[in-house]
Amino acid sequence: MLYHRPLMPLPRSPGQLLSYSQGSFSEYRRSVCNCDDDAPPLPPRNYRVAAKTQREDNECFGVNGRSSIPPPLPPRPKIINTNDEIGLERLDMSTGIFTPISSDAPSTKFKKVRHDVALPVNTNNNNKPVQTNKFYGNMLLGSQTSPVWTHPYSLWIDKSSKPGMAVAYIKSSQRVFDTANKPPRYLFSPTGIKSFVFSSTEFKSADDMSVSLNTLKHLSAQVRLQKSDQEYIRFYLVQGMGFVTAIYYNLIPKVYSGVGFKSISGDTSPRSGISKYKIVLKDNAVWTLYVTIPGGQSLQLALQNNAIVGDRSINGGLFQIVPDTNSDIDRAAGCYPITADLTGSVSGSKGNYTLTFTNAGESNSGTSLMYALPHQVENFTSRTVGKINSKLDSTVYGSMTGYLTKAFDMTVEVPSGLGFDPYTTIKGKGGPKYSDDVLSKIREAAASEIDGDVVSESNVDSMYTAGKILAKYAWILYCCQYVIKDSDKVSKLLPKLKEAISRFTGNQQILPLKYDSVWGGIISSGTVYQDYGNAYYNDHHFHYGYHVIAAAIVALVDKDASDGKWLGGNRVWVENLIRDYSNPSSTDIYFPMFRSFDWFTGHSWAKGLFESADGKDEESSSEDVNSAYALKLWGLAVDNKQLAAIGDLSLGVLKTSLNHYFLFTDDNKTQPASFIPNKVSGILFENKLDHATYFGTETQFIHMIHAIPITPASSFIRSPTFVREEWEQILSKIVDKVDDGWKGIMMLNLALYDPKTAYEFFSGSGFQDKYLDNGQSKTWSLTYSGAFK
């Protein structure tokens, strides 16, 4: 069974990238507003506010929005330096398991090229590769004006007549839901609401403001809006940052609101040198503004023509906003995160990972304000301190919780017992056990399937499709060697599989791979329209994960059943693919660190170099799992304990995050209650959930793209409870109508909670080969379901 996913929106011309079209939303949106197809409708807002006179608008503001701002207090000695050593013994910033796989240049088999999409002017990453699939990607692409999501905020570079950095925070009550279907097929947060725009009087137009990006890491980025090298506003974008912080250097501050200011009133200062204001916008949203002026400087602010304007330039002055008035937040004012670092370890069935925030500035607490996602809160250890009574909404991740902390420290369950063998989390089931009857059925299926022409079948113009086919035959090889223990079948299939893989390790496939020195990655030589956008960094973890698993199984079997020399000749190629999508170290100068996996949101992003109005997205949570599982299997095959541990830890994080955001048991409290009956998210974007796929809206497509491929790792993520609910509520009602390869996926998925029924399907007289996906074999289906029936 073949299926094809439409490509992402593509360039009209070099350097011009389209925003993701809301497609399926268009008709709905046109019915409720005269909206452009690239801009979702804004929810109704109440602007019934008494008009202010021009005289009032131009007065200095303070208490009640009318009186003058209090003069800044004189500076006093530092209370605390927020860059002091962290008082947690284990947070020593060591890398732990995140050590480099290699420091060598990519294989010379990959032709070195420069990507068609150039880095923006004024982008400096200290000669390190730039991330392609991270949250700030839109600021690197096209017009650089599409939003990025740090959660709980979205920010975008506004190049309109009032240029600057625009900021929005969207409450859950503002989300737009599909009203034509129950449960709703989609939900999204409106974009384009300029709650605040940080600008300067020197930015008369967008031509006066250039954009500079630097220190682009996997969890953070720095952006400057500048008039010159000495005159600029700096923004540190860190996932989970509690304040949006604008730092002014030699510019006169000017802050707009596209919504409009309803009132601005002075409030009690949290400490010397910081002024605090309560701001109510005309949509009745309440924000807090903190202004920190360095010692020896002063600044007066006035409201002029719906803008907060300073009376002089400042050097190093902070403007910090947050859509909350909780007094605990005062203790973080003046401090802000500038970057985040990842450390991790695995011990037995527990994995630990820590996001440590490097802060700048000073605050009463010695920390900044951070907001944590639900899956993080669930896994926090006692080392994560400073929880406060502040909750803010994310777009697609539920409610976030505020912390005054220097680190998020989390412990997750990891599948320490997971390896190559079938694995289940069904209660009462141990390891795989095969009756003589089951072994007989597996032998029968293997006898037929080892005759398949893997060399020809995998000779296609897609790394994705080829990877699925190679992995399918590799799992058949595993069954022959370790389950039915048939050396004749192994000796027949192993050489054919080696030959098929050699086409790729020799880079002789239809679309050879290349090394791109602009972004630092291994890409297809196909056009942007081919192989699901691989050449533009789409889906690399999906594609390469299959190849890594196939190689891991071949290496293992070759060691146990042959001369064991295959690994030595192919290891570099395999590990180049791993370094491309999951390089674990920033010291590897050839690939960005963790291109695909996002250690803050807890899952990967599939979208590469495509500007998108709704941000990055992921369609297949299960192929995300497959890519992490590939790390573990390769680590086991080559005895790389650190890499195997990274695979384990990634799976542990995915187990929690996917079951909050992608896979919905009936008791899920993270996603909106009305969306839970869908059971799966569909495509999860940074700004929306779309219960669909890129290749169709059939129910089996939407659900099974989150199940494919069924491997030993599947049961660790897709719990028996979830699989049962999804089956009983949705899949059982359609399975009899499905007559192609999706049927086989559905039935093998059933083995995750009812292996007996699944086995009876694959072993029964009514089974037909047309029920097998092109990446699924009858041999493996019988092996997995038969192991636990």
As given in the structure block, the two tokens for residue 95 are: 């890398």
Joined tokens for residue 338: 């500038």
Q: Which residue has the tokens 């998210």?
A: 681
Question: Per residue in 56-85, is it b (16+ CB within 10 Å) or e — as a string?
Answer: ebebbbbeebeeebeebeeeeeeeeebeee
Catalytic status, residue 725: no
The angle at the Cα of 531, spanning 132 to 663, to the nearest 5 degrees, equals: 70
Nearest alpha-carbon partner for 662 in 623, 612, 611, 634: 623
Q: Which residues of 25-40 are buried (b: 16+ CB within 10 A; e: fewer)?
A: beebbeeeeebeebeb
Residue 639: active-site member: no
Which residue in this structure is represented by tokens 């009463």?
364
Residues 6+ apart with CB under 8 A from 442: 434, 479, 483, 484, 779, 782, 783, 786
Contact 762, 743 (CB under 8 A): no
Residues 6+ apart with CB under 8 A from 24: 185, 186, 690, 692
Tokens describing residue 611: 């500007």
Question: Residue 126 corresponds to which amino acid?
Answer: N
Active-site hit among 283, 341, 598, 619: 619
Helix (H) or strand (E) holding 56, with range, is: helix 54-57
CB 616 within 8 A of CB 154: no
Q: Per the structure block, which two tokens stand in for 174?
A: 């503002």
Look at residues 135, 167, 129 and name the one whose alpha carbon lies nearest to residue 148. Answer: 135
Q: What gap in Å lies between CA 532 and CA 516, rounded to an integer?
A: 17
The HSE-up count of residue 535 (CA atoms within 13 Å, CB side) is 20
User: DSSP secondary structure string, 124-155?
Assistant: E-TTSPPPSSSTTGGGGSTTS-S-EE-SS-EE
CA dist., res. 584 & res. 710, Å (int): 26
Q: Which two tokens stand for residue 343?
A: 């450390």
| Active-site entry in 231, 393, 486, 539 | 539
Radius of gyration from C-alpha coordinates of the chain: 27
At 616, the amino acid letter reads: K
Q: Which of 273, 275, 276, 266 is nearest to 62 (CA)?
A: 266
Structure tokens at 479: 């069954």
Q: Is 539 known to be catalytic? A: yes
Among candidate residues 393, 611, 614, 623, the one labeled active-site is 623
Catalytic sites, residue numbers: 539, 619, 623
